[in-house]
């Protein structure tokens, strides 16, 4: 049960942190951040995957093949969020700017989502949250 509950609680926690941080920054409630998981501080994808890997390591052992698999997938998720998805967000920003400059009236054009990836510190904070939540659930809850 801890392998399901831990990452789900971690994901919800990260989305609430994003919601609060972005609402405070915008000085208005940003309800969309509760359900939109891409980009922003902290990386909920990183926290989710690291919490799974940490829970598996704590439960099954850090020298097991299942932990190795979980860590590889967590690493891929972290690398992807700082690389490919971040670059895709930069491309979306450039496309949005071009559309705005070329077409004064954006009839029929909807802006692309720009916040897709993460900065390294957002991933680092997600990593720390994932480990801490997994430790809490392993030693306190389960």
**DSSP single-letter state for residue 41:** S
pLDDT at 107: 64
pLDDT at 133: 98
Q: For residue 125, is it within any domain?
A: yes
Q: For residue 25, is it within any domain?
A: yes
Residue numbers of the domain that contains 28 = 2-80+119-141
Q: Which two tokens stand for residue 56?
A: 């598996």
Counting the structural domains of the chain, the total is: 1
Axis-axis angle for helices 2-26, 44-60 (nearest 10): 150
3-state secondary structure of 68: helix
Q: For residue 96, is it within any domain?
A: no
**Tens place of pLDDT per residue across the chain (142 aa):** 999 999 999 999 999 999 999 899 989 998 877 777 677 899 999 999 999 999 999 999 999 999 999 999 999 999 988 887 777 778 888 888 888 777 765 566 777 777 777 889 999 999 999 999 999 999 999 8
Choose among 83, 86, 75, 77: nearest CA to 114. 86
Beta carbons within 10 angstroms of residue 107's beta carbon? 6
pLDDT at 131: 98
Q: What is the pTM of this model?
A: 0.83
Q: For residue 31, is it within any domain?
A: yes
pLDDT at 106: 57
C-alpha pair distances (Å), 92 with each of 23, 38, 60: 23, 14, 42
Q: For residue 113, is it within any domain?
A: no
């Amino acid at each position: 049960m801890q392998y399901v509950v831990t990452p789900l609680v971690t994901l919800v926690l990260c989305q609430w942190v994003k919601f609060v941080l972005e609402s405070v920054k915008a000085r208005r409630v940003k309800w969309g951040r509760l359900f939109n998981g891409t980009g922003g501080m902290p990386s909920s994808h990183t926290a989710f995957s690291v919490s799974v890997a940490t829970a598996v390591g704590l439960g099954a052992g850090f020298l097991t093949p299942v932990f190795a698999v979980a860590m590889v997938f967590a690493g891929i998720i972290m690398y992807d969020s700082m690389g490919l998805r971040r670059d895709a967000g930069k491309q979306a920003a450039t496309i949005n700017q071009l559309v705005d400059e070329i077409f004064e009236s954006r009839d029929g054009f909807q802006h692309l989502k720009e916040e897709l990836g993460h900065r390294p510190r957002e991933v680092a904070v997600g990593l720390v949250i994932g480990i801490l939540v997994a430790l809490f659930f392993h030693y306190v809850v389960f």
